[in-house]
Amino acid sequence: MEMRVRFMLKKFIVVLTLCFLVGCTTRRNTSVTHDTNRVLDAGKVASQLLRKLNLSDSMEQVSDKVMDSVFMQGEDLTDDKVAYLATDKGNSNTIAVFVADEDTSVDVLRQHLLTYLDTQKVTIENNYPTEVFKISNAILEDNGRVVILVVADNIEDARKCVNDILEK
């Protein structure tokens, strides 16, 4: 009888130990543990948006230097950035993804992007009035570290894609 109790006690200890080990493991599933300031890869996000919005054929990537000049008024405020602009004249489609550097708040990036959008509206309103609507309804969202700007024909699909990426 004593041996049987020892055997059961050993089994109980093993099961208890396994329970503790399972309870102490970390979760890697981001849908369960949501980090609002998680850093995304700007290139991957921009490519994903291009693909989901079917804009790959009509847009081209711009260089970092052009991005700083066009979007950030000459300042480099990011750790990572990628932007695609429409290749067709008069088309304001834009996909831009910025990862704020450690010293820059997302609000500063957003303000620069709002300035860009205002400038675009003024520039384009006389020649391409239908584009003003797209610019006025641009999607400008962030997760505390990453800012995404999308100007597209299908605003609802673009908003859904951006919210999915930022997990909003």
Residue 10, domain member (yes or no): no
Considering the entire predicted model, what is its pTM? 0.75
Domain that holds residue 105: 39-166
**Residue 4 domain-assigned?**
no
pLDDT of residue 27: 43
Domain count for the chain: 1
**Is the residue at 58 inside a domain?**
yes
DSSP assignment string, the chain? -HHHHHHHHHHHHHHHHHHHHHHHSPP--TTTS--TTPPP-HHHHHHHHHHHTT-GGGEEE--HHHHHHHTSTT---EEEEEEEEESSTT---EEEEEEE-TT--HHHHHHHHHHHHHHHHHHHTTT-HHHHHHHHT-EEEESSSEEEEEE-S-HHHHHHHHHHHHT-
Domain contains 72? yes
Count of Cβ atoms closer than 10 Å to residue 8 Cβ: 10
Do the domain assignments include residue 30?
no
Q: Please provide residue 81's backbone torsions phi and psi, each rounded to the nearest 5 degrees.
A: -160, 145
Mean of pLDDT over the chain? 83
Q: Considering the domain boundaries, does residue 32 fall inside one?
A: no
Among residues of the chain, what percentage have pLDDT more than 70? 78
Name the band, by pLDDT with cuts 50, 70 and 90, for residue 167: confident
Neighbours of 56 (CB within 10 A): 13
